[in-house]
Amino acid sequence: MLDLFRRAIGPSEDQDDRASAFTGDNADTLAASLTIFAPSPCGHPAVDHLVGNCTAKDPNVRYQRMQKVVLELKLLSFAVPRPETVAHRQSVTAALRAETQQLEARLAALQQAHGTALIEMQRASSDVISELCARLSSVESELAAASHA
């Protein structure tokens, strides 16, 4: 937020390399700059709107109360994404993607293991059913032979 004010009032002694929003070698040229020229846009529409309302040539367009400016600055501080927030969000997204890929790999391995186990159970149950059918056939044969004797 301090940059916003520096943008409006010009660079401090330790910021000689930054361009001032208003230029003037003395109070008269600075006053002329303030009354004739508008500051150049910074690239953030919300900031440009705020600065434009603070530096408007028409007094009816300018903010009438400082509380309104403070409120707008507070809203702007929440609305404009901070670089560290964006970087944090990107790192969290990358971590979530990596974790999702790991989970997908584990699920695929479990699915493969369960598929193999299911095939093995089907083969084993088929063998048991075949053996039971053979025993049942043998018992039926014995019963048939016993009933004829």
Q: What is the C-alpha separation between 20 and 18, in angstroms, rounded?
A: 6
Looking at the structure, tell me whether residues 56 and 117 fall in a common domain.
no
Looking at the structure, tell me whether residues 60 and 125 fall in a common domain.
no
- 51-66 tens-digit pLDDT: 888 888 788 888 888 8
Q: What is the C-alpha separation between 78 and 71, in angstroms, rounded?
A: 11
127 pLDDT exceeds 70? yes
Segments forming the whole domain that contains residue 131? 82-149
- 82-99 tens-digit pLDDT: 677 778 888 889 999 999
Percentage of residues of the chain with pLDDT beyond 70: 81
Q: Name the domain boundary from 53, 79, 105.
A: 79
Crossing angle of helices 2-9 and 45-54, in 10° steps, is: 50
Task: Quote the pTM value.
Answer: 0.38
Looking at the structure, tell me whether residues 94 and 106 fall in a common domain.
yes
Q: What is the C-alpha separation between 22 and 11, in angstroms, rounded?
A: 10
